[in-house]
Amino acid sequence: MAERKYSEEHEWIEIDGDIATVGITNHAQEQLGDIVFVELPEVGATLNKDDEAGVVESVKAASEVYAPIGGEITEVNEALTDNPGTVNEDAEGDGWFFKMTIADPGELKDLMSESEYKDFIED
């Protein structure tokens, strides 16, 4: 099973071989409310850890999505452009944002496990 990690900015990242899939957590979508707009990064863009990778807007507010690790964007979830509500329905599944290479596997160590993230959002 692929390994899943979480960032303090409420992104999830799933590592499958040398590719990572990134989205926002179910907790994040609950906090945002109805999502009406998603801006995705460009395929081929190289991002450093914590760089702005996209934007997610709900009826209430806009917030940035950050790259939880550094790497190159290999694929984006185009379906979100027309159906941003998918993020509300399935944030940690069909609502994924982008896939990227893993520039430095060492950066994954800074991220939280599922149980650590659970504690983090409860604090």
Partner 1 sequence: MTEESLKTTPLNALHRELGGKMVPFAGYDMPVQYPAGILKEHTHTREAAGLFDVSHMGQAWLISEDGTDPAIALETLVPADVQGLTAGQQRYSQLLNDQGGILDDLMVTRPVADFGTDRLYLVVNAACKDQDLTLIADALKGRVRVERLEDRALVALQGPKAAEVAAKLFGADLATMPFMSQARVSWDSVDLWISRSGYTGEDGYEISVSNADAEKLARALLAEDAVAPIGLGARDSLRLEAGLCLYGHDIDETTTPVEGGLTWSIGKRRRAEGGFPGADTVLAQIADGASRKRVGVQPEGRAPAREGSKIQNAAGDSVGVITSGGFGPTVGGPVAMGYVPSDLAKPGTEIFLSVRGKALPAKVVKLPFVPPGFYRG
Going by the DSSP 8-state scheme, the letter that residue 108 receives in this structure is: G
In the shown chain, the binding pattern of residues 39 to 58 toward partner 1, with x for contact by CB under 8 A and - for none, equals: x---------------x-x-
30: Cβ contacts below 8 Å, ≥ 6 apart:
none
Least Å distance, CB 60 to partner 1, is 6
Considering the complex, what minimum distance in angstroms separates the CB of residue 74 from partner 1?
A: 24
Q: How far is the CB of 101 from partner 1 (least distance, A)?
A: 25
Residues 76, 65: contact at Cβ < 8 Å?
no
99's tokens: 């896939």
Closest approach, Cβ 58 to partner 1, in A, equals: 8
The answer to whether the beta carbons of residues 10 and 24 sit under 8 Å apart is yes
User: 34 or 51: whose CB is closer to partner 1?
Assistant: 34
Query: Which tokens go with 100?
Result: 């990227």
Chain residues that interact with partner 1, rule: CB under 8 A = 33-34, 36-37, 39, 55, 57, 59-62, 81, 84
